[in-house]
Amino acid sequence: MVELADEGEIAVYRGSRDTTTIPNSELLVGDVFEFSFGIKLPADCILIEGQNVVCDEAELTGEPDGIEKEPLTEENYK
């Protein structure tokens, strides 16, 4: 059975400044990837860079409202 998070493709940086498009199911720990509106992301990823990022976590948590995300920094690292 294919899980919803495994559907689709994502652009990852693996050893170069250019992205390579791979199936979501082939993401590995430590991969750095680009995403855009509407793409499904792993629940345990870390935002390195971005502005106005809001995630719909309803499938995971049942929370009906979007959750605002902020990039990881030394100030907000817990």
Tokens of 43: 């629940």
Of 41, 71, 34, 46, nearest in space to 59 by CA: 41
pTM score of the predicted model: 0.71
Tokens of 55: 């995630």
Tokens of 66: 């979007």
User: Mind listing the pLDDT tens digit of every residue in the chain (78 residues)?
Assistant: 445 455 788 899 998 899 999 998 899 999 999 888 888 887 788 999 999 999 998 888 888 999 999 999 999 887
